[in-house]
Amino acid sequence: MAETRLESEVEKVFEHIKNGDNFLLSGGAGSGKTYSLVQVIKEAITQNPMAKIACMTYTNAAVKEIEERVNHKNLRVSTIHDFLWDNIKQFQKELKKSLLILINDKEYKIKNPNEESGEEYINKFEYGISYKEHLNINRGEISHDEVLILANYMYKKYKVLCDILKDKYKFIFIDEYQDTSPFVVQIFLEHIQQSMRKCIVGFFGDTMQSIYEDGIGDLNDYVRLRVVQEVQKKQNRRNPQLVIELANNVRVDGLLQVPSKDNNAPNMNNGLVKQGNIKFLYSSNNDLDKLKKTKYFRGWKFDNPKQTKELNLTHNLIAPKVGFSELMNIYDKDPIIQLKNEILKKIKKEKIVIDENATFSQVVSLVPAKNRQGKLKIDLIVEDLDNKQLYEQLKDIPFSKVRKIYLDKDSLIDDKKDDKGAENKNGSKRDDLIKHLFKIQLLVKLYEDKAYSEFIRKTEFKIDSITKKKEIKAIIQEINSMSDCTIEEVIKFADKKGICKKDDKFNKFIEKNEYIYNRVKRVKFKEFQKLYYYLEGYTPFSTQHKIKGAEFDNVLVILDGGGWSNYNFEYLLNDFISSTLDKNKQKSYPKILLRTQKIFYVCCTRAKENLVVFYHNPSQLIISKAKEWFGEENVCEC
């Protein structure tokens, strides 16, 4: 079998390795960065058969993909968090000492249980420090964020750790570097340089796809100082010509892509790059259902989420389209919990002392929150009858209990799949009420799909006779007919019939979160059913952040900020808007523009065949910019 020839970019990488230099392989969307990473790993093994190699990436799915492509006893593939933890966990004495220092140092932002009293935190951590999905400082249990902070501190403080790491690994490769925490980059490009041992560190990624706020984004400072040597990979194997040209208009880092010269690349056809189709559509109304029936979407299959995607900026924009707005409003826009959070911020900022027996209403009076016009927010909230009823539930409860009520949209919508065949990730943030509802609906789906073996494993219902088989069929049919019943009615029915019993986790959640349960239990079950099918990947909808790394034949991008101030699509398409902004907005303009450029770039480069971008009611300046980027013939009012 003929050996696979190394890519020219990989050959350049090994020139830098030969010189003992760290390197950065930069490649745009669809350039085949993972293929290059695999080639680098294989060639490093070939040239150094006895050397140990570490490869870190962002997700467990990516770990699995790399492991499937390269199988070697000296290769360790893991997530960044797992790799760092495995290399510091045995140093418990140093871990305990470091964690105590970091807890008491406000600069590092590790939660101090004594923060409100201002006392120094002291703990012997008798059972040691352990890495969990959750954070419990008193028990020495740290989560993802703390692992990074701790590792960064320890590699900076203890040179011996740097020696051990470099002795163990000759090569350390980091995939999707742009999403990596600055703490991680500091460890591998600054702290371990204390050690004189030899070790090559290589990064793979794309600065234009750094769309998460906690990622480093780029390595420009390190490249400028020649701490790393950059190799650019300019080919594009995914997108058709028109999408490549559009994406090049959006890029701001100087890396301009060209179609691959490989005739076997997905975007090639009979030796020529596919042209593809791009459209910028706009209208004065926002009727997307009507729009999807026009000629611009002929041949698109919105019922096939593997082939077609509609990308919105936020889950809040998607919720009304799918049909789970009420649940979304509970978890993301509860007015009473928002008020409570503002009061907590004010208490902390102004160091207000609250009597431990004070009720929520007494604290609201003591620490009045106001809007910009100086009106009391509580007055504005209780003007609405529904909001007033919510406030009545909590006003006489001790504030010490109310302050612990936690509502976050991740508790509802975390762990969304791109399609129904995708795997669930580890450590879902969904709360135990939502997880319980998922169990019920999953059982229904398994039965309907005739996945009886898995159904039997997941249900408490014992099917040991023909009668029981008939009974379970009737139960499933009954649950399916309960769409207009409340969530509470369905939970009680599933528990009574034994198909999904209320377990300790569910009961404990209800006991501690009565307010949340009282809100959710009244929602119709069909809302949760719609949520379930959305999160399990049965719909064409996805948020723009979630879609990174995926690709589809047809992509519809909705340019609607949804009120999220971190992004502004008008900034993206209006070159003159910055001059019209006030001073405060002018300060934030560059960061917001860059974020918006990157999310737009990621969205557009998902398309393998057809790309449609929709903008509601744009100005003439925006239309002119769209014509410049898309071509006049591809900008249409509809």
pLDDT in tens, 448-460: 999 999 999 999 8
Q: What percent of the chain has pLDDT over 90?
A: 84
Share of the chain above pLDDT 70, in %: 98
Mean per-residue pLDDT, 429-449: 95
Domains detected in the chain: 8-86+158-233 (3.40.50.300), 92-142 (no CATH), 258-313+544-637 (no CATH), 335-406 (no CATH), 410-536 (no CATH)
Looking at the predicted structure, is the pLDDT value of residue 428 above 90? Answer: no
**What's the pLDDT at 119?**
83
Structure confidence by residue, pLDDT tens digits, 48-96: 999 999 999 988 888 999 999 999 999 999 999 999 999 999 999 999 9
Asked whether the predicted pLDDT for residue 411 surpasses 60, the reply is: yes
Pure H helices in 542-630: 569-573, 583-604, 620-630
CB atoms within 10 A of CB 481: 9
At how many degrees (to 10) do helices 385-394 and 335-350 cross?
A: 50
pLDDT grade for 2, boundaries at 50, 70 and 90: very low
Counting beta carbons within 10 angstroms of the beta carbon of residue 428, is it exposed (0 to 12), middle (13 to 18) or buried (19 or more)? middle
Binding-site residues from annotation: 27-34
For β-strands 268-269 and 272-273, DSSP reports them as: antiparallel
Return the closest-CA partner of residue 412 out of 547, 535, 512: 535
Cα separation, 118 vs 120, whole angstroms: 7
Report pLDDT for 549: 87
Residue 10 or residue 5, greater confidence: 10
Which single residue is written with the structure tokens 């959710």?
A: 520
Model pLDDT, residue 165: 98
Q: Collapsing DSSP states into helix, strand and coil, what is residue 541? A: strand
- Burial class from Cβ neighbours inside 10 Å (0-12, 13-18, 19+) for residue 296 reads middle
C-alpha pair distances (Å), 579 with each of 16, 68, 407, 588, 598: 45, 52, 39, 13, 22
What's the confidence (pLDDT) of residue 373? Answer: 81
Please say if the pLDDT value at position 461 is more than 80: yes
State pTM to two decimals. 0.92
Residue pair 337/407 in contact by the 8 Å Cβ criterion = yes
**Per-residue pLDDT at 376:** 85
CB-based contacts of 337-343 (< 8 A; 24+ apart in sequence): 337/405, 337/407, 339/364, 339/369, 339/377, 339/378, 339/381, 340/402, 340/403, 340/405, 342/369, 342/377, 343/367, 343/369
pLDDT tens sequence across 166-213:
999 999 999 999 999 999 999 999 999 999 999 999 999 999 999 998
Q: How many residues does the chain have?
A: 638
Q: What is the pLDDT of residues 105-125, one digit of tens each?
A: 888 888 888 876 678 899 999
- Least Cα distance to 11 among 48, 53, 43, 46 occurs for 43
Average of pLDDT values for 598-605? 98
As a whole number of angstroms, the distance between CA 479 and CA 476 comes to 5
Q: Is the dihedral of CA 528, 530, 533, 535 positive or negative?
A: negative
**pLDDT tens per residue across span 506-523:** 999 999 999 999 999 999
247-251, 284-288, 331-335, 487-491: range with lowest mean pLDDT: 284-288
Tokens representing residue 367 in the block: 């620490």
Helical spans, DSSP H, in 323-395:
325-333, 335-350, 360-366, 377-382, 385-394
pLDDT tier at 421 (50, 70, 90 boundaries)? low
Binding-site sequence positions for ATP: 27-34
Buried b / exposed e along 61-98 (16+ C-beta atoms within 10 A)? ebbeebeeebeeebbbbbbbbbbbbebbeebeebbbeb
Query: Quick check: helix, strand or coil at residue 18?
Result: helix
Backbone angles phi, psi at 52, to 5 degrees: -90, 140
- Give pLDDT, residue 424: 60
Tokens for 548, please give them: 């990174």
List pLDDT tens digits, range 217-270. Answer: 999 999 999 999 999 999 999 999 999 999 999 999 999 999 998 999 999 999
173 in helix, strand or coil?
strand
